[in-house]
Amino acid sequence: MIFRKLIIAAVLGLGLAAQAVAQETPVQVMKTSTCGCCVAWMEHLNKNGFVTHGHDMLHEALIRYKTDKGVPEEISSCHTANVDGYIVEGHVPAVDIRRLLKERPDAIGIGVPGMPLGSPGMDFGGRNQAFDVFLIKSDGTTEVFSSHPAK
């Protein structure tokens, strides 16, 4: 019984440690001032232990920013974030950002193209669709990093 309680305490402690790491990681979000889903995505990250900071940009400046950071056009979405040296494009779930920061692949970052219904920040109205998160490699190619089925 005591051993079981120790194991439970250790598991809970690891969960709190992971959340503490996320809380220490700032997320700089480049977005336009009129995009409500960007703010909703930031709220998703905040609820999952990240600290977000939004930076409003003109649409043309945001497009240029994405290009300068190496985001392929086919991965583009409505906002672009910087997280501990990585680019996070679009409505990427917090769990995938944590995995990126843990595994630290040799890549530009990760992204969800477009604005799939049911993804964080686009989870309204009860409609959703399956979507993939793509790893954006340094050479500009991409591969599936994770898949999220429709709920």
Distance, C-alpha 83 to centroid of its chain: 9
**What average pLDDT does range 73-91 have in this prediction?**
96
The better pLDDT of the pair 76, 16 is held by 76
Predicted model pTM: 0.83
Work out the angle at residue 31's Cα, subtended by the Cα atoms of residues 29 and 32, and round it to the nearest 5 degrees: 155
Q: Which of 3-12, 18-27, 93-102 has the highest mean pLDDT?
A: 93-102
Q: How many domains does the chain have?
A: 1
Percent of the chain scoring above 90 in pLDDT: 75
Sheet of 107-111: strand order equals 51-56, 26-31, 80-83, 86-89, 107-111, 131-137, 142-148
Q: Quick one: pLDDT at residue 49? A: 93
Q: What is the spatial distance between Cα 25 and Cα 22, in angstroms, rounded to a whole number?
A: 5
Give the residue numbers spanning the domain of 110.
2-148
Distances (CA, A) of 124 to 18, 60, 90, 98: 28, 28, 16, 24
State the pLDDT confidence band at 40, using cuts at 50, 70 and 90. Answer: very high
